[in-house]
């Protein structure tokens, strides 16, 4: 887009600044940056902090370094509400400290794959970002229990936390977290391989608002832990237990008796689950919409019949093609995932 000085000046004269700012608010980052180069007046408009309330740098991840985040934080200040640095491996603790100091109204922060960050970043967020509601720390492998203690002390409004593949986290970190963040609605713990049943007991004690829980590949979890969760988290709608190979029908029984709102269940590779458990689940959880039962080798067509009779909302079912009986019947080959809040 190219304007002559007269054209550009005419637009600025005909339209009030408030309307121009409103128009600029619909533009993406790239377009805003291009507009900022047209003239001094448009530079001011394009770089106004009100236009930078939501920023997603995923498409520029290979180019984003710490100084970029620092400059953005200085430009946006208190206007910024949502920032995604997903995949920005060049961003570290120092730049995120500056960010936290400048952007104290941040509510959604995605640091998925920012492998350079450590507990220091979580300390900064705890100190300056008390309004934080959504935090994604997926694959931030240097994060330890100390981060969770800091978050629980300073980010008590947190509703969504993704700690997937942060494999240094233990039950002590979970206990510290949930004591302070009792309003958690979604907690993703995929690949946190050190977690045991006691961690779930802490969640049960404090997180009664929990709606979504992901325990994929938490291989130390047993029926005891799942029973604890079910007894304390009656609002649970989505649960992933895939890869928790120690589980038996006792877990399904606990779900059936305590979690009637359950909509999505992932239990792939839980090879001890049987028709008996799924029959009870189907007869009590009528809101089920999606299930992943891949490699649940003990189930037969009896489970499918019970689900078809008692779960009219079921839309997607993923099961192993060859089961003990009725292997000629094929289920929908659609994979079901535990729902997460819309990512940045």
Per-residue pLDDT of the chain (344 residues; tens, 9 = 90+): 444 554 455 566 666 767 776 776 676 766 756 665 667 776 766 667 677 789 999 988 888 999 989 988 998 899 999 999 999 999 999 999 999 999 999 999 999 999 999 999 999 999 999 999 999 999 999 999 999 999 999 999 999 999 999 999 999 999 999 999 999 999 999 999 999 999 999 999 999 999 999 999 999 999 999 999 999 999 999 999 999 999 999 999 999 999 999 999 999 999 999 999 999 999 999 999 999 999 999 999 999 999 999 999 999 999 975 544 444 444 443 444 444 443 33
How many structural domains compose the chain?
A: 1
Q: How far apart are CA 139 and CA 132, in angstroms?
A: 20
Q: Which residue has the tokens 């809101």?
A: 287
pLDDT given at position 322: 52
- The residues near 219 (Cβ < 8 Å, ≥ 6 apart) are 193, 243, 244, 245, 246
pLDDT given at position 45: 65
Domain that holds residue 19: 1-51
* Domain annotation covers residue 26: yes
Q: How far apart are CA 303 and CA 78, in angstroms?
A: 53
What sign for the dihedral angle of Cα 61, 63, 64, 66?
Answer: positive
* Domain annotation covers residue 21: yes
* Domain annotation covers residue 11: yes
* Domain annotation covers residue 172: no
* Domain annotation covers residue 3: yes
pTM for this entry: 0.85
DSSP structure string for 64-77: --HHHHHHHHHHHG
Which CATH number fits the domain that encloses residue 40?
Answer: 1.20.1280
* Domain annotation covers residue 123: no
* Domain annotation covers residue 97: no
- Give the DSSP letter of residue 22: H
Q: Is 327 left (phi over 0), alpha (psi -120 to 50) or beta?
A: alpha
């Amino acid at each position: 887009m190219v304007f002559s000085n007269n054209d550009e000046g005419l637009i600025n004269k005909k339209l009030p600044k408030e309307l121009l700012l409103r128009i600029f608010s619909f533009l993406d980052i790239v377009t805003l940056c291009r507009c900022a180069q047209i003239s001094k007046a448009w530079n001011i408009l394009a770089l106004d902090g009100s236009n930078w309330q939501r920023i997603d740098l995923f498409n520029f991840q290979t180019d984003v370094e710490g100084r970029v985040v620092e400059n953005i934080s200085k430009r946006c200040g208190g206007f910024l509400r949502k920032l995604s640095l997903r995949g920005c491996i060049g961003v570290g603790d120092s730049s995120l400290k500056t960010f936290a100091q400048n952007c104290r109204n941040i509510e959604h922060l995605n640091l998925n794959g920012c492998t350079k960050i450590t507990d220091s970043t979580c300390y900064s967020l705890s100190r300056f970002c008390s309004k934080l509601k959504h935090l994604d720390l997926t694959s931030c492998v240097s994060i330890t229990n100390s981060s969770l203690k800091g978050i629980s002390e300073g980010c008590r409004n947190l509703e969504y936390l993704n700690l997937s593949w942060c494999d240094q986290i233990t039950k002590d970190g979970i206990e510290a977290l949930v004591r302070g963040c009792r309003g958690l609605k979604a907690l993703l713990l995929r690949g946190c391989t050190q977690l045991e049943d006691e961690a779930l007991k802490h969640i049960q004690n404090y997180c009664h608002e929990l709606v979504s829980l992901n325990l994929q590949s938490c291989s130390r979890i047993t029926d005891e832990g799942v029973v604890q969760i079910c007894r304390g988290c009656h609002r649970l709608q989505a649960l992933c237990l895939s890869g928790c190979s120690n589980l038996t029908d006792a877990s399904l029984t606990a779900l059936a008796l305590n979690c009637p709102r359950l909509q999505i269940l992932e239990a792939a590779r839980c090879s001890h689950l049987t028709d008996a458990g799924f029959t009870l689940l189907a007869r009590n959880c009528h809101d089920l919409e999606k299930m992943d039962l891949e490699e649940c080798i003990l189930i037969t067509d009896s489970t499918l019949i019970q689900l078809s009779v008692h779960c009219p909302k079921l839309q997607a079912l993923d099961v192993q093609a060859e089961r003990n009986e009725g292997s000629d019947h094929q289920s929908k080959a659609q994979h079901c995932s535990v729902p997460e809040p819309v990512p940045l």
